[in-house]
Every structure is written in C-alpha cells, then in structure tokens.
Amino acid sequence: MTSTSVPAPATSGEPLLITVAPTGAEIDKADVPQLPTTPEEVARTAVECREAGAAMIHLHVRDSEHRPTLDLPLLKEWVAAVRESTDLVVQLSTGGSVHDPLDKRLQVLDAEPDSCSITMGTTNFGDEVFLNPWPFVRDLHLLARDRGVAPEYELFDLGQVHALQRLLDQHGLPVGERVHVDLVMGVPGGMNGTTDALVAAARDLPPAVTSWSATGIGRSTIPVMFGALSRGGHLRVGMEDTVTYARGVAVRSNAQLVERAARAGVLAQRSPMAPDEARAMIGLR
C-alpha cells in the first residue's frame, strides 16, 4: 500500500477553535500570582493568547481584591478591555462562582458579551454544588436568544448531554441556529476526564450540535486535548482549568497553554481558526 492510498483522518485540515479561559472563579491570586485578575492583566493576556492562536476568551471577572464578582460595571469594564485590545470572541461566564445567586447570573447578559456559557444541569463541584436548575437553564437559553448572544452549552456530565437534547426539543435553537458545546471533563463530581468518557459524550451529542470543544480539568488536560483533537472537537485551555503545566511544574501564563494547544493542533493538521471564523461557527454575524 502506498502512502497516497491511506485515507486522511476525518479531522485533518479542519480549522481548530482554541478558547482560552484565563481566570475562572476558583483559583486564588495569592496562591497563583500569574493569574490575570485585573482588566489590564486580562487585556495583556488576551493579546498574548490571540497571538498564540486563541479565537475566543471565556471570562470570569474579579474585583479589586481579586475575588470573583458579577458586578455589572466590572463585567462591562472587562469586556471593553478585551475588545479594545483584541478581536477575540468575548464569552462571559454565567456560571460565576458556586456562591453566586441565579438572578445575578442571568444579569451577566446585560454586559453584552458575544457569547455566554450555559451549564446544562446541577453538578457536585468538589465539596460545593454548582446550581443549574432547569427553569434557570431554560430562562438563560431564551434570554441569550432574545439578546443575540451565542451560547456555549457546558456539559459536565453525560446526563447533561441528554438535557441539551431536551432543551432544544422544548425551546428551539439558539441564535444563528448553531449549537456550540463544551465538554467540561474531570471536575470532581462530573464526568471523568478520559478519552473513553469523551468518546461517549461526543457520540451522544444531539444531532443539532454544530461544533464542540472539550476542556480537561487539572491533570486530565492532556488526555482530553488529544482525545478531542482525534474525535474532531475543538479545545478550551487556560488557568481556569489547570495551573499545572506538567507534574510539579506551574503554568507560567495562559499563552503557554494556548501555545501548547496550537502545537498539538498543528500535529493533528488543524490550524488555529481566527476569531471571525469562530464567530461564524457559533452563529454570530
């Protein structure tokens, strides 16, 4: 058999969305000083990550004491800081921290992001509970469509894959009729961060799903990254999800994680997509 008769992998050549989640709500600045927690730091991070291959940024905002907040003026300030420094697609977290009330989480959309996360069900989150009751999920889905905000449905568990089908059946498609998903894997309380779990989740995604990425928390970052690449998925990386680059080696910066994802993508013959391609892919004009 000659090399020309070997079929190319199904994913070969497809552009790769890299989303960076630079901050999150769980890591303490005092423990990890390189975590971006101010508008200036996040703007600098955004520029570096864009240069390294990211097309979208998933933002959690911090206050002047570096604590997670859903304060609306601060959300607006962070969105503006990223927009002034890059053309990245700006996704705001509606998950916030496990302590944020549901009404404040709905108000995140008042900061006018391009995209927002919507988690498809309540999940044990370490010793805490990440609350996402069905009426809240439904209201967020409907509000995002009203406002023209493209959701990223975050699935922490296989049951949430099924819940997404139920949401779309009952309430229809989001803006642009594109359905973008992120599999969040390896949260203590959610699905495993393994290739087997990734394949099961990807296999069962509703047919309406038009794109999906995967995120591996902590040490599941690497298996989830290679699993997603080989299964035709996109990638989310960042210090929200891991602050360890390798065993005993701290992450230096978010750009370091984006660079690694971009290099892995190139090995899989998938070049990082630009923000405009990402906008089209998730249903934004």
Among ligand KMH, Zn ion, none, residue 142 binds (CB under 5-8 Å by kind):
none
User: Residue 59 touches which of ligand KMH, Zn ion, none (CB < 5 to 8 A by kind)?
Assistant: none
Other beta carbons within 10 angstroms of residue 129's beta carbon come to 12
Residue least distant from ligand KMH (Cβ): 95
Q: What token pair was written down for 61?
A: 């905002």
Backbone angles phi, psi at 91, to 5 degrees: -110, 125
Binding residues with ligand KMH: total (CB under 6 A): 13
- Binding to ligand KMH by residue 157, rule CB under 6 A? no
Cα gap 183→104, rounded to integer Å: 24
User: Is 93 a binder of Zn ion (CB under 5 A)?
Assistant: yes
In 68-168, beta strands by DSSP E: 68-69, 89-92, 115-119, 123-125, 128-130, 150-155
Q: What share of the chain is helix, strand, coil (3-state, %, to 5)?
A: 40, 20, 40
Nearer to ligand KMH, 27 or 268 (CB): 27
Tell me the closest approach of the beta carbon of residue 59 to ligand KMH, in angstroms: 9
State yes or no: residue 98 binds ligand KMH (CB under 6 A). yes
Pattern of binders to ligand KMH over 122-151, x per CB under 6 A? ---x----x---------------------
Q: Are 143 and 107 in contact (CB under 8 A)?
A: no
Taking CB within 5 to 8 Å according to partner kind, which of Zn ion, ligand KMH, none is near residue 53?
none
69 lies in the site for ligand KMH, by CB under 6 A: no
Nearest CA among 210, 81, 79, 70 for reference residue 152: 210
Residue 56, class by beta-carbon neighbours within 10 Å (0-12 exposed, 13-18 middle, 19+ buried)? buried
- Residue 54 Cβ, how far from Zn ion at the closest point, in Å? 15
Looking at 19, 37, 45, 93, which residue binds ligand KMH (CB under 6 A)?
93
In the complex, minimum distance from the CB of residue 93 to ligand KMH, in angstroms, rounded to a whole number: 3
Exposure of 192 by Cβ count < 10 A (0-12 exposed, 13-18 middle, 19+ buried)? middle
Q: Residue 200, exposed/middle/buried by CB under 10 A (0-12, 13-18, 19+)?
A: middle
Closest approach of Cβ 21 to Zn ion, in Å? 6
Segment interacting with ligand KMH (CB under 6 A) among 38-46, 92-100, 197-205, 262-270: 92-100
Is 98 or 274 the residue whose CB approaches ligand KMH more closely?
Answer: 98
Residue, CB closest to Zn ion:
93
Q: Work out the burial of residue 85: count CB atoms within 10 Å of its CB; fewer than 13 is exposed, 13-18 middle, 19 or more buried.
A: middle
The C-alpha atoms of residue 134 and residue 32 are separated, in whole angstroms, by: 35
Among 48, 114, 154, 259, binds ligand KMH (CB under 6 A): 154
Q: Binding of ligand KMH at residue 74 (CB under 6 A)?
A: no
Residues of this chain that interact with Zn ion (CB under 5 A) are: 93
> Residue numbers of the site for ligand KMH (CB under 6 A)?
24-26, 93-95, 97-98, 117, 119, 125, 130, 154
